[in-house]
Amino acid sequence: MNRFRNRASFGNSSHGFGRKKFNKSKNGGSFSYPKRFAPIKRFTGGPKSKLLGEDISIFIKKATQVSEKSDYLPHNNFTDFDIANPLKQNIVQKGYTHPTPIQDKSIAAIIAGRDLIGLANTGTGKTAAFLIPLIDKIFKRRNNRALIITPTRELAGQINEELHILSRGMGIYSSLVIGGANIHRQIGDLRRRPSVVIGTPGRLKDLIERRHLHLEDFSIFVLDEVDLMVDIGFIHDIKYFMSLLPKQRQSLFFSATIPTKVQEILQAFVRDAVTVSVKAQNTPETIDQDVVRVNGGNKVDKLHDLLNKEEFEKVLIFGRTKHGIEKLDRLLTQRGFKVGSLHGNRSQSQRQKILKKFKNDEIKILLATDVASRGLDIDNVSHVINYDLPETYDDYVHRIGRTGRANKAGKALTFVE
């Protein structure tokens, strides 16, 4: 039984949308890929992708064999770090066994008070790499306070969730300060002087200007996913925050890449920093990448065909615009699929509810614009489908990085016309 929906047939019998008639494609179970690679022909409507005209071979790459064990041998165990026993117990209960490379190389340096530059892709364990030493510092010295700035609401919420798990029973409180949520409630939270404030630039700036948030009250600052913050237009906000930072501080900087604009921020933010680089290859070796040829056919029919296949267990589908995602949501729902969607027209509470359902396997198909392509840690996504081309190859890499995580196999398919 397919897990996505209760299969009622859709349309007339000539389309074969019923479960028994439609568990293979019209080409006998596999899509027809071109004998020789060709440029992408057409991609109309909305913002244009810079990948138009690129050879489709950039979306085709076979995964290497997935091993159960990582090749990396950590120099430390979590028990080796000079951290509080309650924190060690929470780490065990979280299910962490051995540090990932960025955790292994970063935790001791942060505990020692060093500024740090972490060059790491999402999915490498970097959130715990900075949360574990921050929790320890705050637990041992209660006047320590940390401000974590991150580009998206979803990533901020995810960091807050992990903080709660890792600091359970330690009396450490946090405030989530993001757009789309009640600002008056957030002001009330800030008045209680939480040990950790996690926020997105727009809302943080608003609260600073209203004089409800004072950066001089914090001793530890984290900029996470800095390259994305710059890409989506927050560079002036970041510079504004840095103009308000106290001179005595510990600064932690995380980014997948350091282009020129990010380099400018980096030089002003950290001092005598330790650099830890654990950047993976552009696309993980665990992801099997291929294309789906539309050839003038109905894209929704092709997508329907794919989603009927049993191996598509948990699927993240990316579209170009929020209006396109809303339309696809309606079309798939009409065909009987149970889906959720993330885009800019959703309220923050709606986005959190849908994301929670997808994480908990209450829904198996999530539609999203690129708001969900960066930083989200969702377990066991079997497939990422690029229903619309991403704008850039970097966006492609971040999208497909939602599958093939934690050394597990994943598949990415890109629709081309």
SS3 237: helix
Neighbours of 360 (CB within 10 A): 9
Give, for all 417 residues of the chain, the pLDDT tens digit: 444 544 333 433 333 333 333 333 333 343 433 333 445 544 444 456 767 656 677 778 776 654 444 566 778 899 999 999 999 999 999 999 889 999 999 999 999 999 999 998 777 889 999 999 999 999 999 999 999 999 988 899 999 999 999 999 999 999 999 998 999 999 999 999 999 999 999 999 999 999 999 999 999 999 999 988 988 889 999 999 999 999 999 999 998 888 888 998 999 999 999 999 986 555 567 789 999 988 777 899 999 999 999 999 999 999 989 899 999 999 999 999 999 998 877 877 888 889 889 989 999 999 998 875 565 678 889 999 999 998 888 788 888 888 877 667 889 999 987
Cα–Cα dist 280/292, whole Å: 26
E strand or H helix that includes residue 186? helix 183-191
Please provide the DSSP assignment of 56-72 as one string: GGGG-BPPPPPPSS-S-
Burial degree of 334 (CB within 10 A; 0-12, 13-18, 19+): exposed
Q: 118 has which bridge partners? A: 254, 276
DSSP 8-state assignment for residue 79: G
Position 37 scores a pLDDT of 43
Question: Residue 195: which region, alpha, beta or left (left: phi > 0; alpha: psi -120 to 50)?
Answer: alpha
Structure pTM? 0.68
pLDDT of residue 349: 82
Q: Is residue 4 left, alpha or beta, with left meaning phi > 0 and alpha meaning psi from -120 to 50?
A: alpha
Q: What is the DSSP string of 207-221?
A: HHHTTS--GGG-SEE
- Quote the tokens at residue 33: 């890929």
Amino acid at 29: G
Residues 64, 226: Cα–Cα separation, whole Å:
30
Q: Which domains does the chain have, with CATH numbers?
A: 13-66+286-416 (3.40.50.300), 78-277 (3.40.50.300)
Determine contact, residues 314/361, Cβ cutoff 8 Å.
Answer: yes
pLDDT at 130: 98
Alpha-carbon gap, residue 129 to 207, rounded angstroms: 28
Query: Is the separation of the CB atoms in 400 and 412 below 8 Å?
Result: yes
What is the Cα–Cα distance from 249 to 393, expressed in whole angstroms? 36
Query: CA angle 332-334-337, nearest 5°?
Result: 50
Q: Contact 174/195 with Cβ under 8 angstroms?
A: yes
- Least Cα distance to 373 among 259, 228, 240 occurs for 228
How wide is the angle at C-alpha 110 spanned by C-alphas 106 and 116, nearest 5°? 70
Q: What is the pLDDT of residue 102?
A: 93
Beta bridge partners of 275: 117
DSSP symbol at 335: T
For the packed helices 348-359 and 153-166, what is the interaxial angle rounded to 10 degrees?
Answer: 60
Query: What is the per-residue pLDDT for 260?
Result: 86
Q: Tell me if 391 sits within 8 A of 47, measured CB to CB.
A: yes
**Integer Cα distance of 24 and 44 in angstroms:** 29
205/185 Cα distance (integer angstroms): 16
Partners of 227 in the beta sheet? none
Dihedral of CA atoms 271, 275, 281, 286 in degrees, nearest 10, equals: -110
For the four alpha carbons of 320, 326, 327 and 330, in that order, the dihedral sign comes to positive
**DSSP string for 309-333:** STT--SEEEE-SSHHHHHHHHHHHH
DSSP bridge pairs for 121: none
Q: Does the CA dihedral 140-143-149-152 come out positive or negative? A: positive
Query: In terms of DSSP bridges, do strands 174-177 and 339-342 run parallel, antiparallel, or are they unpaired?
Result: unpaired
